[in-house]
């Protein structure tokens, strides 16, 4: 039994540390058009936080990068969005990774911008889309906290990016809101498109072994 536990612990640690980056997509504009809206959400779907159903891409729904593109640019020090797209191959790869992109209500996303995801206490009232928000911090609904945590942890581990958010909190969100059948199916579809899984959807327990990289 001891040997079995040792093997299982090793496998969990390996799964966490061996997060594989996608290598197929490197044009963010084409990725959004052809892969995100053209394949992943070709038949519509539901926005992540606001839970608004849509049948197709429109001005009312837009793409939302859970790990903000602003944070990526700050880390890479590559300049403006246009400069980064034109001159930084890493930025193009990061912004083409579908595991970090979700559909969202366009008005809400405009207001969210690069807001950090953290827990806020009950003194902050619940507002639109069932969130709490104050000073650039957003406390999302409980039923999407795991989705957000797994996306942030994936970007942190896979691309060695700084983690925006408390690691222990994200681990807790991952535990209290495990992957739903819809999230698992989305992961499977993304694997078909870009060739890699989010390992924290395939094996959520692996998130508990993450050590802060920055």
Per-domain residue ranges for the chain? 2-209
Give residue 117's pLDDT: 95
Backbone angles phi, psi at 2, to 5 degrees: -60, -40
Question: Does position 85 have pLDDT exceeding 90, yes or no?
Answer: yes
pLDDT digits (tens, 9 = 90+) for 168-177: 999 999 999 9
Q: What mean pLDDT is predicted for residues 12-40?
A: 82
Query: pTM surpassing 0.95?
Result: no
Q: Which residue has the tokens 């400069």?
A: 83
Question: Does position 6 have pLDDT exceeding 90, yes or no?
Answer: no
Q: Who has greater pLDDT, 85 or 16?
A: 85
pLDDT band (50, 70, 90) for residue 213: low
Contact 26, 194 (CB under 8 A): no
Give residue 1's pLDDT: 42
Q: Which candidate, 72, 49, 53, places its Cα nearest to that of 146? A: 49
pLDDT band (50, 70, 90) for residue 181: very high
Question: Does position 9 have pLDDT exceeding 50, yes or no?
Answer: no
Look up residue 112 and give its two tokens. Answer: 């969210």
Question: Does position 47 have pLDDT exceeding 90, yes or no?
Answer: yes
68 SS3 class? coil
**What is the rounded distance in angstroms from the CA atom of residue 129 to the CA atom of residue 147?**
16
pLDDT band (50, 70, 90) for residue 11: very low
Q: What mean pLDDT is predicted for residues 35-40?
A: 98
The backbone region for 79, taken as left when phi is positive above 0, alpha when psi lies in -120 to 50, beta otherwise, is left
């Amino acid at each position: 039994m001891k040997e079995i536990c040792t093997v299982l612990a090793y496998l969990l640690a390996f799964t966490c540390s061996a997060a594989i980056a996608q290598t197929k997509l490197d044009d963010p504009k084409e990725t959004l058009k052809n892969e995100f809206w053209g394949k992943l959400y070709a038949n519509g779907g539901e926005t992540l936080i606001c839970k608004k159903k849509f049948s197709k891409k429109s001005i009312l729904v837009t793409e939302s990068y859970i790990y903000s593109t602003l944070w990526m640019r700050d880390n890479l020090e590559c300049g403006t969005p246009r400069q980064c797209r034109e001159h930084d191959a890493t930025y193009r790869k990061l912004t083409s990774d579908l595991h970090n992109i979700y559909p969202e209500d366009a008005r809400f996303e405009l207001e969210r911008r690069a807001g950090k995801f953290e827990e806020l206490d009950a003194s902050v009232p619940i507002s639109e889309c069932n969130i709490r928000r104050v000073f650039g911090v957003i406390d999302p609904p409980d039923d999407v906290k795991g989705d957000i945590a797994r996306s942030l942890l994936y970007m942190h581990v896979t691309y060695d990016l700084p983690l925006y958010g408390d690691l222990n909190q994200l681990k807790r969100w991952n535990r209290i809101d495990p992957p739903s059948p819809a999230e698992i199916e989305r992961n499977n579809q993304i694997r078909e498109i870009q060739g890699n899984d989010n390992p924290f959807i395939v094996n959520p327990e692996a998130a508990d072994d993450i050590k802060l990289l920055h």
